[in-house]
Structure 1
Amino acid sequence: MLNSTVCSQVALSGEMSLPSSARDAKVCLIFATRGRAEVLERVVAFVDSQTVRPDLIIVSCVTDEDAGTLASRPGLLVIKGQPGLTVQRNHALKHVPGDFDVVVLLDDDFLMHSKWIAEVLKTLDSDPAIACVTGTVLADGIHGPGYSVEEGQAILATAIDVPAILNVASTGGPYGCNMAFRASSIAGLRFDERLVLYGWQEDRDFGGQIWNRGGRVVRINTALGVHLGVKRGRVSGRKLGYSQVINPLYLARKKTMPLRAALDHVLRNVASNVVRSFAPEPWIDRRGRLGGNLIGLWDFVRGRLTPERAAKL
C-alpha cells in the first residue's frame, strides 16, 4: 500500500481534489513526541478505532525511548532527529511519501473521535480551496491539570454521534493539537524552526503561510476530539513566557499573523500571568512565565525579535 519513495516535499504544488471517493484518499498521520512514550502508545492504539484508518503513521522523536514499543507496529514509521516541535514536524514531513493526499498532524496527547479522519476527508472533498482543516476540541486539558487517557475516552464516549449538519467556518489558524492538510497545498512549506522548543504559535504561522498562498483554513464541528493536556515534557515557565511575547510579534513581522491578533495574544497572556501570579495554579509556573514575559517585552523594546532565545533562558 505504501510508496517506498520518500520525497522532500509532500506532494506536487497546486490545488487538487481528493480521489473520486474520499475513502480512497491516502492519509499520513504524524506525531511529534518526546518523553511521553506511555501516553503516545495508548493514543496510537486508539487510532485503530477510526472508521477510516491512516495508511501510514509517522512518529518523529529524539530517542528510542520516546517511541516505546511502537517501532514494531505495522504501518508505523519511527524516525529520530533533533528535539523541538517544529524541527520534529519538519523531519516527519520529509518522510511523507509523494503519492499521499492528506497529512494529519496531532499532538501526542490528542484522542480522536472515531469519525475524525472521515469527517476531515469529507470536508476536504467538498471544496478544493480548503487546504487545512482543524476540528472541535470537546475538552482541553491544557487549561487545567490535564486528563488521563481514561478520562479522555470517557468524554469522547458521551459524543457517540457527530453533529448531523457540517459547519465549516474560516479561522485565523488551525489548533496545533489537531490539524489536517491537503498534501498538495503544503508542498514546500515548513514549520518555522526559529520557533524553538514547544513552538508557541507554530500552528498559526503554518496556517498563515497557507493563507498567504490563497488556501482556505477552516474549523469544522464534526471532527471531534479531546486534548489531554499532559504536563510531562513541557518547557519551563520562563522559556514559555518569553515565547508568549516574542513569537506572536515575530509572526506579525512575518505577516503570518495580523498585528492586532499578535498584540491581543501578548496582552492577554501577560495580563493573565500578572493576575494569577499572586495565587498560581499548581500545574502552571505563572511567576516563571511572567519573568519570561518581561524579558520578552524588554527584547521587543530594544528591537530584538529573536524567538530562538527562549531555548537559552
Structure 2
Amino acid sequence: MSLRHGVTLAICTRNRLDDLLRCIASVIRQAPDFPVEVLLIDDGDMPEPLIASLRRELGHPPFRFAYRRKQQPGLLLSRIEAVRLASCDYVLFVDDDAELEDGYLARLAETYDRHPDAAGIGGIDAALRGSFKWDLFTRLILYDSGRPGRLSPSGCGGSMTRWSAQSEPFPSEYVLGCNMSFRKSALAGLPHAEWLTGYSLGEDLYLAAWARRTGEIWIDPRLRVRHHHARTARDKEAAVAYTEVANHYHLLRWRGAAAWRFGALLWTSFGLLGRSLVKRSLRGKASGYARGIRFVLAEDWRRLFRESISDLGDGGTLRRGGGVPGEAGPANAQGLRADPGRPERRRAAPSADSEV
C-alpha cells in the first residue's frame, strides 16, 4: 500500500511546549494531498486547553489528531506506543524540537513510490555537516565509517555528517532519530530493551536494525529538517556521555557483533574521552565517558566468564546471535542464546559485520 493512502506522523514529546508548537506549525505548512494522522505521545504534563486547541486545529482534512499521555516514561516506550496506536500503514517519527522543511511530506511519498519495498526511509538534519578536522578525527577513532550509509566499526553513526553532501537516496544501516519513517509492519513485535531508558540514546539504531529484517532502509538527503536540539527534558551531559558508550555496547551485543568490534568501541570511547578532556566546553562529559569505559571493561570480563562456565554446562550449543534475534524478547534480546538448531521463522536482520 502506498504512503499516499495515509501516514501517521508521531511526535514523542515531554514538556517542550514552544518547540512542539513550532514543530506542528511546520507540519501544517506542508499542506499534503493525502491523509496525515498527527499522533502526540506525551511523557509530560501538556495542559488540557492546549490539547483541545490542537484537536481543533488538526481536526479537519487532510489532518486528524490523536493524543496519548503515557504512564511509564522513556523515549523507546513512546516509539513502541506510537506504532501500536498508529492508524496508518506508515509511521513517520519527528522530534518535537525539529521543523520539517517545505515539501517534506510530498517528497517522502515520492521516495516510497521509488522504493516500494523499503522497510524505512529517513531524512537528514540540514545543519549537520562535517569538516576536514572533524572527519579526520572521527575516522581515526573509528566513530565514522567513511561511507554515508555504513555504521562505523564500533557501531556508531558518525558518517551521518556526510549525508548532506549526497544528491540521491542511498541505502543505509541506520537512520537519524529526529526524522525517520517506517512501514508499521516493519516494526511489528519490536521488544522493549531495558537498557534503552529515559532519553534512550541509540534507539534510532535499534529501530532501524529491527526494521531491516523486512527490507532495506534508505536515506533521502532531500528530506530535510531543522533540528534545534532543545536542552529541555534531555538528560545531563555526563549521563548522555555514559549512554553513548554503554548503549552502543548493548547494541553490539544485541546484534551479535564480532569480538573485535568491542575493541573498536573501546578505542572510540577513549577517543571521545580524550576530546572531552581537551575541549573545555565538553569537560562535563568526561566523567560519563570514563564511567562508560569502566562498564564495558567490567561487562566484558563478566561475559567471558559466563560463556566459559556455559561451555562446561549441559552440552547445549551457545552462540552469539548472528543478528537481531528472530523471536526477540526479554530472555534473548541481549545477544546470547541457546541454539537448539531450530530454524528462524523470520528473516534475520543483517549482522553488525555485514555490508549494506
* TM-score, normalization by structure 1: 0.73
- The answer as to whether partners of 1:135 and 1:220 remain within 8 angstroms in 2 is yes
Match of 2:121 in 1: 133
1:242 aligns with 2:242: yes
One-letter amino acid of the counterpart of residue 37, structure 1: L
Residues in 2 aligned to 1:177 and 1:67: alpha-carbon distance in whole angstroms:
26
Residues in 2 aligned to 1:234 and 1:55: alpha-carbon distance in whole angstroms:
28
Residues in 2 aligned to 1:207 and 1:70: alpha-carbon distance in whole angstroms:
31
Per-residue deviation, 1:269: 4.3
Per-residue deviation, 1:27: 1.0
Could you tell which deviates more after superposition, 254-263 or 187-196? Answer: 254-263
- The answer as to whether partners of 1:40 and 1:67 remain within 8 angstroms in 2 is no
Residues in 1 aligned to 2:257 and 2:178: alpha-carbon distance in whole angstroms:
19
Residues in 2 aligned to 1:27 and 1:208: alpha-carbon distance in whole angstroms:
21
Could you tell which deviates more after superposition, 59-68 or 226-235? Answer: 59-68
Match of 2:135 in 1: none
- The answer as to whether partners of 1:60 and 1:92 remain within 8 angstroms in 2 is yes
Residues in 2 aligned to 1:29 and 1:90: alpha-carbon distance in whole angstroms:
14
Match of 2:67 in 1: 78
Number of paired residues? Answer: 261
Match of 2:170 in 1: 169
Match of 1:160 in 2: none
1:40 aligns with 2:20: yes
Residues in 1 aligned to 2:47 and 2:265: alpha-carbon distance in whole angstroms:
32
Per-residue deviation, 1:187: 2.7
SS across alignment from 2:126: strand
- The answer as to whether partners of 1:205 and 1:257 remain within 8 angstroms in 2 is no
Per-residue deviation, 1:182: 1.9
Residues in 2 aligned to 1:67 and 1:272: alpha-carbon distance in whole angstroms:
43
Per-residue deviation, 1:297: 2.8
- After superposition, the Cα gap between the structure-2 partners of 1:171 and 1:250, relative to the gap in structure 1 and judged at 3 Å, is same
Per-residue deviation, 1:57: 1.0
1:110 aligns with 2:98: yes
Per-residue deviation, 1:304: 6.5
The aligned runs of 1:138-287 (5 Å cut-off) are 138-140=126-128, 167-190=168-191, 192-211=193-212, 213-255=213-255, 264=264, 267-281=267-281, 285-287=284-286
1:101 aligns with 2:89: yes
* TM-score, normalization by structure 2: 0.65
Deviations along 1:112-141, whole A, 9 cap, x unmatched? 112111111111122222111111221149
- When the two chains are superposed, the root-mean-square deviation of aligned CA atoms in Å is 3.1
Match of 2:317 in 1: none
Structure showing greater radius of gyration is 2
